[in-house]
Structure 1
Amino acid sequence: MRRYGQAVLMLLVGAAVLRISLFSALYLRYVQSGLRPYLIASGALLVLLGVAAGVRAAREVPDEDETQDPHEHGHTHTTGPRLAWLLALPAAALLLFPPPALGSYSADREDAQRAAQGIGTFPPLPSGDPVDLSVAAFTSRAVYDSDRSLKGRTVRLTGFVTHGDDGTWYITRLLVSCCAADATTSKVEVRGADAPATDTWVTATGIWHPKGRLGSSAAWPPLLDAKAVRRVEEPSNPYEQR
Structure 2
Amino acid sequence: MNRNAQAVVLAALGALTLRVSVTDEHTRYVNAAMKWPLVVSGVLMLLLALSRVLRREDGGEPTTPAVWVLLLPVVVGLAVQPAALGAYVADRRVNDVSAQQYDEPAVDPLPRDRTTDVGLAEFVSLAAGYGEALAGREVRLVGFVTHADGAWFVNRLTISCCAADASAFRVRIDAGDVRVDVPAEKTWVRVVGRWAEGTGVEGVDLPALRASAVEEVPAPRQPYE
Q: TM-score, normalised by structure 1?
A: 0.79
Q: CA deviation at 1:112?
A: 4.6
Report SS of the residue matched to 1:215: helix
Structure 1 residue 237 and structure 2 residue 185: aligned? no
Q: Which residue does 1:43 correspond to in 2? A: 42
Q: Which residue does 1:76 correspond to in 2? A: none
Residues 112 and 141 from structure 1, CA distance in 2 versus in 1: closer, same or farther, beyond 3 angstroms? closer
Q: Which residue does 1:171 correspond to in 2? A: 154
Paired residues of 1:12 and 1:95 also in contact (CA < 8 A): no
Q: Describe the superposition over 1:56-115 as per-residue Cα deviations: whole angstroms up to 9, x where unpaired.
A: 4x853998x78xxxxxxxxxxxxxx43342221222222232222211122222155436
Q: Which residue does 1:69 correspond to in 2? A: none
Report SS of the residue matched to 1:45: helix
Structure 1 residue 126 and structure 2 residue 111: aligned? yes
Paired residues of 2:154 and 2:171 also in contact (CA < 8 A): yes
Q: Which residue does 1:11 correspond to in 2? A: 11
Q: Describe the superposition over 1:149-207 as per-residue Cα deviations: whole angstroms up to 9, x where unpaired.
A: 2112221101111222x122211111122222221111111121543122211100111
| CA distance in 1: counterparts of 2:141 and 2:211, whole angstroms | 10
Structure 1 residue 21 and structure 2 residue 8: aligned? no
Residues 17 and 7 from structure 1, CA distance in 2 versus in 1: closer, same or farther, beyond 3 angstroms? same
Q: CA deviation at 1:17?
A: 0.8
Paired residues of 2:9 and 2:70 also in contact (CA < 8 A): yes
- Unaligned 5+ segments in structure 1 are 67-80
The one-letter code sitting in structure 2 at the alignment partner of 1:29 is R
The one-letter code sitting in structure 1 at the alignment partner of 2:120 is V
| CA distance in 2: counterparts of 1:133 and 1:167, whole angstroms | 25
Q: Which residue does 2:145 correspond to in 1? A: 161
Provide the aligned C-alpha RMSD in A: 2.6
The one-letter code sitting in structure 1 at the alignment partner of 2:20 is I
Matches within 5 A, 1:179-218: 179-192=162-175, 193-211=180-198, 214-217=201-204
Q: Which residue does 1:96 correspond to in 2? A: 79
The one-letter code sitting in structure 2 at the alignment partner of 1:21 is S
Figure out how many residues of one structure are paired with residues of the other and give that number. Answer: 219
The one-letter code sitting in structure 2 at the alignment partner of 1:31 is V
Q: CA deviation at 1:2?
A: 6.7
| CA distance in 1: counterparts of 2:209 and 2:153, whole angstroms | 9
| CA distance in 2: counterparts of 1:234 and 1:214, whole angstroms | 29
Structure 1 residue 150 and structure 2 residue 134: aligned? yes
| CA distance in 1: counterparts of 2:182 and 2:200, whole angstroms | 27
Q: CA deviation at 1:210?
A: 2.5
Residues 89 and 109 from structure 1, CA distance in 2 versus in 1: closer, same or farther, beyond 3 angstroms? farther
Report SS of the residue matched to 1:149: helix
| CA distance in 1: counterparts of 2:42 and 2:87, whole angstroms | 30
Paired residues of 1:119 and 1:215 also in contact (CA < 8 A): no
Residues 211 and 154 from structure 1, CA distance in 2 versus in 1: closer, same or farther, beyond 3 angstroms? same
Residues 109 and 82 from structure 1, CA distance in 2 versus in 1: closer, same or farther, beyond 3 angstroms? farther
Q: CA deviation at 1:38?
A: 0.9
